[in-house]
A and B are shown apart, each in its own frame.
Chain A
Amino acid sequence: MSEPHRTDAVPEELRSLVEEHCAGTLSDEGNVRLESLLRESELYQTYFLEVMAVHAGLYWSLRDQSPASTPTLPAPVGDDSHLGTPALLEGLLPAAEPQTSAWTLPPSLRSGGWFSLGVAFLVAACISGVVLVSQQKRGPGEVPVAPIARNQAREVRPNEAPSPVDRSQAVARVDKLESQVLVERAGAKKPAVVGMELLADDSLDVPGGGSAELTLIGSARAKLGPRTTFVLGPGREGILREGFLQIDASGRQEGSLAIETPDAQARVEGARLAVGTSRKRTQIRVSEGRVIASRRTDGIEVEILEGYCSTIARASDPNPRPSGNGTALFVVSSKAIYAHEDWERFDQILAERIVGDRLWRSAMPVRVRTYDELDVDDFDGCSLIVLSVFPFKVGIEEKLVALKLPELSTPIVCLEPAAFPILGLTGPTRNVDFGFANGPLVVDVANPDHPLAAGFVGNSLKLFTYKKSPYAWGKPTSNALSIVRLHKYPERWLLFGYEQGAEMAKGKAPARRVGLFMDPVGIDYDTPTLDLIDASIDWCLDVVPPTMVPEYF
């Protein structure tokens, strides 16, 4: 790294010219003079780059600044550790704030002046800002937390003292990798490789879109999903700090595995399960055997049996609920071929990744297929299908019909309005039965008590985007469960669903169906609107949504 130079070696003229350059007031003559000075020495060039780095840093770090709030601090830069938490996204994520009784949002979300358009093609998906000033959601006081009624819940027993374990012994082995997974050992990070032996205290970081498969001591197998951090403990234990973990310890009698998350501790006894954790909540789905989980905040313990899942979070009811097993199939259109000239298409790719990660974090193993790759075999063993948006008139509509997707008795969450008529959710006439428009997306929640509403309550909410963002709508039949509609056009719905057997615009629903417009431009990893995705998934899987303290205050 270069040593900072003495700034008194920089002539005042250069300082003034660079300052004028920053301020955008440099004249043509000044520009010529600045260039001439910069050619004189590398020292001057370094000074120029230093000043401009400060100037750029101010733009970068204050990109979502609102007038009322104080500047947010810039994220560290140039640090590869940001692979897991993108610097650009970091400023957009809600910061930890003191809990308040009122339903408030972090300044970055309250601000309507998000890092407007540009700095990031990546975060164009986030920037347009979810303006939630007027948004309301049920506060913790409005809906009482369900009592721990079932007898599975009980005070946690003190753990037995762990037996001493040799930390130099391998506790796991890497079997399969997708994307570059990093292993942190004794403070140093290096890429994981297949066959690598892992020691206690090794931490694995799986990037977005990646995965890693491990064999743990005792031959239990573990799969880590995207955006996951997992720390191996000594012996048969591990800490899932964030992300998704699937454990298959079925049929093995070597004793229990212990998994910790920020919210829960779980003992796995010969079971197959999936654990998804995001900030403030952990979901555990058990598909075989049983899992004993305890909530870290109060030690309440629940037994989760096969076919059940539990959401463990502060002030939520951890009692197990019936859970859909199997895999979620996420069908996307994110191929470079579609991204060549359409800016929004690229946003869509990123949004798809976000939604995909969200599925993982609901403790659902996710299989991703593009529309091109989609085959009838992909539907096998699926509990849920999520259809992302796709480009029109490239043959996808016909393919969905050819694959008999409309008749499939698997629940479907459809994010693509052009597929609404194909699935029979709406009639076929564009601008009558479904349509696209631009404008401020102000909505009413018409059925706030329904689980699909994800706890959103009220009218004139700005749930999705702001300013003139493209959006789409559908007009379901009167048999639909109509949840969210445009405030200005009450007949246009952004979120609706059909119960299995309900009469749709075309035929009866073979399984639950949800039509949801999820703007790819206006979401980021923690946009509250994504709760609607979670709610749609839970409803399709017939999972009773937990009574949650909302995550976003």
Chain B
Amino acid sequence: MLEWAAVAAYFPISSRFFHKNRIFFDCPGQKPPAATIRRWAEACRRGNMDQNPSIDIVGDGAGDQPSAAGQRDRFLGLFLAHQNRIFRFIVAVVPRGVEAEEVFQQTSLTLWQRWDEYDPQADFTAWACGIARNHLRNYLRKKGNQQRLFSDDLLEQLSALQVSKRSYLDELQSALSRCLELLPADRRRLVGLCYGEKRSIQDVAEREGRSPNSLYKLMRKVRETLYDCIMTAVRSGATE
């Protein structure tokens, strides 16, 4: 049986290439004819596969293509490692939690659906943020909030900056935990209501017997306190 991994190692091409060139292994139980493999390999080496995309390899589907589980796990591995960064990018444009989650959910699904287009050599975060950008546009257009979206070029700049500074931004978020602990209990509770439960300011204000305006101000102070604390922690290197 022709192992996918062996093929991929032998021929330095991506899964995208396989899909693009309609190289399918769709006859379970049959071994790929050696002559076909040689012909195809030769075409690969000569680099004329693009000109001759109809060369198909007949093989054992179970063994030759990456298994569904393998594909899934590779996707999940990358997705789980980068999900926070994708979410962070979305929140930068759509700051309300519920809306951001909706876009994130749509983005995640699209990432999975278009997984076969992903080039393993490419930066996953950049690829995912590109897809998220499209969803952000669609989402805000549907909501009639197109004007609230930054222009394409700025969005692209922010996306690129977000990707280039991801480790730094990761570190900021890592420092958040300690800073959150330092907040007084009543403020932590408010943060929990606004962020954890994603209640609206009006809702929380009513519940707490405050005016919405005072709560806005208080939450602003909380965010500023957290921001200052995080920056201090990062400067002092105390983010472990």
Binds B, one of A56-64, A149-157, A453-461: A56-64
Tell me, yes or no, whether A23 is within 8 Å of chain B by CB: yes
Tell me, yes or no, whether B36 is within 8 Å of chain A by CB: no
Chain A: minimal CB distance from B238 (Å): 12
Per-residue B-contact encoding for A44-60, CB less than 8 Å = 1, 0 else: 01101111111111111
Tell me, yes or no, whether A432 is within 8 Å of chain B by CB: no
- Among B97, B165, B189, the residue within 8 A (CB) of A70 is B189
Q: Please give, as numbers and ranges, the residues of chain A lying within 8 Å of B69 by CB-CB distance.
A: 209, 334, 368
User: Which partner residue on chain A sits nearest B92 by CB separation?
Assistant: A52
Tell me, yes or no, whether B48 is within 8 Å of chain A by CB: no
Per-residue A-contact encoding for B85-101, CB less than 8 Å = 1, 0 else: 10110111001111011
Per-residue B-contact encoding for A379-396, CB less than 8 Å = 1, 0 else: 000000000000000000
User: 11 other contacts beyond A73-B180, A179-B70, with CB at 8 A cut-off?
Assistant: A26-B148, A49-B162, A56-B173, A60-B173, A65-B197, A67-B192, A78-B166, A78-B169, A118-B102, A120-B105, A209-B72
CB within 8 Å of B: which of A102-151?
113, 116-122, 124
Rounded to whole angstroms, the CA-CA distance of A7 and B98 in the bound complex is 29
- Among A45, A86, A368, the residue within 8 A (CB) of B80 is A86
- Among A24, A82, A350, the residue within 8 A (CB) of B96 is A24
Tell me, yes or no, whether B11 is within 8 Å of chain A by CB: no
Do B180 and A71 touch across chains, with their CB atoms under 8 A apart?
Answer: yes
Rounded to whole angstroms, the CA-CA distance of A48 and B165 in the bound complex is 12
Chain A: minimal CB distance from B221 (Å): 10
For the complex, count residues of B whose C-beta is within 8 A of A. 83
Give 5 pairs: A residue, B residue, CB < 8 Å, sorted on A: A23-B220, A54-B226, A65-B197, A66-B196, A78-B173
Rounded to whole angstroms, the CA-CA distance of A67 and B62 in the bound complex is 49
Rounded to whole angstroms, the CA-CA distance of A224 and B161 in the bound complex is 40
Q: Please give, as numbers and ranges, the residues of chain A lying within 8 Å of B220 by CB-CB distance.
A: 19, 23
Tell me, yes or no, whether A254 is within 8 Å of chain B by CB: no
Do A49 and B219 touch across chains, with their CB atoms under 8 A apart?
Answer: no
Q: Please give, as numbers and ranges, the residues of chain B lying within 8 Å of A335 by CB-CB distance.
A: 68
With contact pairs A78-B167, A334-B72 given, residues A62 and B230 touching in the complex (Cβ less than 8 Å): no
- Among A73, A87, A208, A340, the residue within 8 A (CB) of B83 is A87
Q: Please give, as numbers and ranges, the residues of chain A lying within 8 Å of B201 by CB-CB distance.
A: 23
Tell me, yes or no, whether A1 is within 8 Å of chain B by CB: yes
With contact pairs A7-B231, A71-B188 given, residues A83 and B170 touching in the complex (Cβ less than 8 Å): no
With contact pairs A49-B158, A121-B108, A343-B109 given, residues A28 and B148 touching in the complex (Cβ less than 8 Å): yes
With contact pairs A120-B108, A336-B71 given, residues A24 and B95 touching in the complex (Cβ less than 8 Å): yes
Rounded to whole angstroms, the CA-CA distance of A120 and B63 in the bound complex is 31
Tell me, yes or no, whether B131 is within 8 Å of chain A by CB: no
Rounded to whole angstroms, the CA-CA distance of A209 and B85 in the bound complex is 24
Do A77 and B170 touch across chains, with their CB atoms under 8 A apart?
Answer: yes
Rounded to whole angstroms, the CA-CA distance of A339 and B171 in the bound complex is 35
Tell me, yes or no, whether A437 is within 8 Å of chain B by CB: no
Chain A: minimal CB distance from B110 (Å): 10
CB within 8 Å of B: which of A1-55?
1-2, 4, 7, 19, 21-26, 28, 31, 35, 38-39, 42, 45-46, 48-55
Tell me, yes or no, whether B185 is within 8 Å of chain A by CB: yes
- Among B97, B147, B165, B227, the residue within 8 A (CB) of A51 is B227
Do B165 and A49 touch across chains, with their CB atoms under 8 A apart?
Answer: yes
Rounded to whole angstroms, the CA-CA distance of A45 and B91 in the bound complex is 14
Tell me, yes or no, whether A327 is within 8 Å of chain B by CB: no
Rounded to whole angstroms, the CA-CA distance of A25 and B96 in the bound complex is 10
With contact pairs A49-B162, A118-B98, A208-B73 given, residues A57 and B176 touching in the complex (Cβ less than 8 Å): yes
Interface residues of A (CB under 8 A from B): 1-2, 4, 7, 19, 21-26, 28, 31, 35, 38-39, 42, 45-46, 48-67, 69-71, 73-74, 76-80, 82-83, 86-88, 113, 116-122, 124, 178-180, 207-210, 334-336, 339-340, 343, 346, 349-350, 353, 368, 370, 373
Rounded to whole angstroms, the CA-CA distance of A54 and B178 in the bound complex is 13
- Among A48, A77, A88, A340, the residue within 8 A (CB) of B113 is A340
Q: Please give, as numbers and ranges, the residues of chain B lying within 8 Å of A113 by CB-CB distance.
A: 196-197
Chain A: minimal CB distance from B151 (Å): 7
Q: Please give, as numbers and ranges, the residues of chain A lying within 8 Å of B173 by CB-CB distance.
A: 53-54, 56-57, 60-61, 74, 77-78
Do A179 and B74 touch across chains, with their CB atoms under 8 A apart?
Answer: yes
Chain B: minimal CB distance from A314 (Å): 30
Q: Please give, as numbers and ranges, the residues of chain B lying within 8 Å of A82 by CB-CB distance.
A: 80-81
- Among B112, B181, B193, B216, the residue within 8 A (CB) of A67 is B193
Do B192 and A65 touch across chains, with their CB atoms under 8 A apart?
Answer: yes
- Among B88, B91, B108, B169, the residue within 8 A (CB) of A122 is B108
Rounded to whole angstroms, the CA-CA distance of A118 and B196 in the bound complex is 13
Tell me, yes or no, whether B235 is within 8 Å of chain A by CB: yes
- Among B91, B150, B224, B235, the residue within 8 A (CB) of A56 is B91
Do A210 and B73 touch across chains, with their CB atoms under 8 A apart?
Answer: yes
Rounded to whole angstroms, the CA-CA distance of A69 and B147 in the bound complex is 38
Taking each of A38, A336, A370, which has the highest tally of chain B beta carbons within 10 Å of its own beta carbon? A336
Do B73 and A38 touch across chains, with their CB atoms under 8 A apart?
Answer: no
Per-residue A-contact encoding for B196-224, CB less than 8 Å = 1, 0 else: 11100100000000000000100110011
Q: Please give, as numbers and ranges, the residues of chain B lying within 8 Å of A83 by CB-CB distance.
A: 77, 80-81
Q: Please give, as numbers and ranges, the residues of chain A lying within 8 Å of B171 by CB-CB distance.
A: 1
Q: Please give, as numbers and ranges, the residues of chain A lying within 8 Å of B161 by CB-CB distance.
A: 42, 45-46, 49
Tell me, yes or no, whether B44 is within 8 Å of chain A by CB: no
Taking each of A56, A62, A83, A353, which has the highest tally of chain B beta carbons within 10 Å of its own beta carbon? A56
User: Which partner residue on chain B sits nearest A127 by CB separation?
Assistant: B101
- Among B104, B174, B189, B193, the residue within 8 A (CB) of A120 is B104
Do B83 and A117 touch across chains, with their CB atoms under 8 A apart?
Answer: no
Do A339 and B113 touch across chains, with their CB atoms under 8 A apart?
Answer: yes
With contact pairs A23-B219, A45-B161, A50-B169 given, residues A64 and B77 touching in the complex (Cβ less than 8 Å): no
Q: Please give, as numbers and ranges, the residues of chain A lying within 8 Å of B71 by CB-CB distance.
A: 336
Rounded to whole angstroms, the CA-CA distance of A35 and B150 in the bound complex is 6
Q: Please give, as numbers and ranges, the residues of chain B lying within 8 Å of A87 by CB-CB distance.
A: 80, 83-84
User: Which partner residue on chain A sits nearest B125 by CB separation?
Assistant: A78
Do A119 and B105 touch across chains, with their CB atoms under 8 A apart?
Answer: yes
Rounded to whole angstroms, the CA-CA distance of A349 and B216 in the bound complex is 41
Q: Please give, as numbers and ranges, the residues of chain B lying within 8 Å of A65 by CB-CB distance.
A: 192, 195-197
Tell me, yes or no, whether B154 is within 8 Å of chain A by CB: yes
Rounded to whole angstroms, the CA-CA distance of A334 and B105 in the bound complex is 19
Q: Please give, as numbers and ranges, the residues of chain B lying within 8 Å of A22 by CB-CB distance.
A: 95, 223
Do A79 and B176 touch across chains, with their CB atoms under 8 A apart?
Answer: no
Tell me, yes or no, whether B79 is within 8 Å of chain A by CB: yes
Chain B: minimal CB distance from A64 (Å): 7
Rounded to whole angstroms, the CA-CA distance of A82 and B78 in the bound complex is 10
With contact pairs A51-B227, A53-B173, A121-B108 given, residues A77 and B196 touching in the complex (Cβ less than 8 Å): no
Q: Please give, as numbers and ranges, the residues of chain A lying within 8 Å of B166 by CB-CB distance.
A: 78
- Among B84, B150, B180, B223, the residue within 8 A (CB) of A55 is B223
Tell me, yes or no, whether B134 is within 8 Å of chain A by CB: no
Q: Please give, as numbers and ranges, the residues of chain A lying within 8 Å of B157 by CB-CB distance.
A: 45
With contact pairs A71-B196, A74-B174, A82-B80 given, residues A178 and B70 touching in the complex (Cβ less than 8 Å): yes
Rounded to whole angstroms, the CA-CA distance of A31 and B154 in the bound complex is 13
Taking each of A51, A73, A79, which has the highest tally of chain B beta carbons within 10 Å of its own beta carbon? A51
Tell me, yes or no, whether B49 is within 8 Å of chain A by CB: no
